Amino acid sequence: MRTRLTIAAVLAALMLAVAPGVANGAQATTSTAMPSATATRSISSTAPYALDFTLPTESKAGCMVCHGDENLTRLKAGKTVTFYIDGDAYAKSIHATTLCVGCHLDFAYTAPHDGTTQWQTTAKLSCKNCHDKQFLAFGQGVHRRAVDATGAAAIEEAKKPLCGDCHGSHDIMQITDSPAGKAALHKKGYEICGRCHQEYWDSYDDYYHGAAYKMGAEDAPACWDCHGYHDILASSEPASLVNATHLVETCGSGDCHDQHGTATDKFIQDAAQMIHGKRAVREANPLVVFFSRIFDGIGSLFGG
């Protein structure tokens, strides 16, 4: 018995000599993965994590072990980038029952996650796997990307929006059969369109459409009510909803002008040009120019 205890003691001493400070296998993994306090000071804030791991589950509960932490951030190019996911917002979204790997198709069980792919692009485009009709329509519109572009052209193509750029990510609302979702979406004209088309957003200020919309009028049209959704075309395209050949039809559809009988050629000629062109029309009006000069002159006399 004494001999056996002595052999066991020798083996334990040898194990400690090989991996000092390690009491079991789990601690050994932690010791290898996490550098000492002294070593941490010399590691760049953008260096890869020295960590491989296996999640307890593929479901959201597994991913939220890390991404549910508000302090999950990294320093990139001098800016703090957060990887926190609001679990409550996710639970209220239309994709509440969708697993994370349903969109993050290139997920790898390492940290940082597979850096060889553009995971943002992959996630934003994964919508096509469930929403194929919308994706096909998107591929026919002005926002489609040319896959054969190179050089400067490729850089410009990469700026075009993907599904997630307009619809969002973890907090996407239900729109179909949801008046509340449609109402919430209706308010997001700037976030969805205006931030990319700032000039058109600024000029959308006529009294009955743009100005009313920006003041929160629920019956004023958002950008897509006139321009369309996934298959938006440039106004110069004959098939565009806002091409001159389709304006009577577009303006008279749904609950818009046909209820007043105003969607006529005369209406289009006189009024539609004001929707994005009020400023230009006013500046070209001789009466407006005349009185503007008078008021400016009066203002200058009083130091205005």
pLDDT of residue 202: 94
Query: Do 201 and 109 meet the contact criterion of CB atoms below 8 Å apart?
Result: no
How far is it, in rounded angstroms, from Cα 125 to Cα 128? 6
pLDDT in tens, 243-252: 988 888 888 8
49 CA to centre of own chain: 27
At residue 156's C-alpha, the angle toward residues 128 and 85, to 5°, is 50
Find the distance separating the first CA and the last CA of the chain, reported in whole Å. 104
214-217-222 Cα angle (round to 5):
65
* 8-41 pLDDT, tens digit each: 444 444 444 444 443 344 433 333 333 333 333 3
Strands (E), the chain: 51-52, 73-76, 79-82, 110-111
Higher pLDDT, 102 or 198: 198
Query: In the prediction, which pLDDT does 54 show?
Result: 57
Mean pLDDT of the 238-257 span: 84
Indicate whether 53 pLDDT > 70. no
Q: What backbone phi and psi angles, to 5 degrees, belong to 32?
A: -70, -40
pLDDT digits (tens, 9 = 90+) for 76-120: 889 998 999 999 999 999 999 988 888 888 776 666 665 556 778
Contacts of residue 176, Cβ cutoff 8 Å, sequence gap at least 6: none
pLDDT tens-digit series, residues 276-295: 887 766 666 666 555 566 76
Is the alpha carbon torsion for 148, 224, 170, 133 positive or negative? negative
Q: Which residue has the higher pLDDT, 163 or 299?
A: 163
Q: How many CB atoms lie within 10 A of CB 126?
A: 20
In angstroms, the CA 235 to CA 228 distance is 11
Q: Which token pair is 131? A: 């929403």
CB 127 within 8 A of CB 135: yes
When pLDDT is averaged across residues 215-221 and rounded to a whole number, the result is 92
- Long-range Cβ pairs for the range 279-284 (8 Å, 24+): 279/203, 279/205
What pLDDT does 115 receive? 58
Six-digit token pair at 212?
Answer: 């009313």
Cα 24 from chain centroid (whole Å)? 45
Question: How confident is the model over 61-65, as a mean pLDDT?
Answer: 83
Residue 125 has pLDDT above 80, yes or no: yes
Residue with tokens 């000069």: 293
Task: Give Cβ neighbours of residue 76 (< 8 Å, ≥ 6 apart).
Answer: 46
Instruction: Give the pLDDT score at 303.
Output: 62
Of the candidate ranges 11-20, 118-127, 175-184, the one whose mean pLDDT is the lowest: 11-20
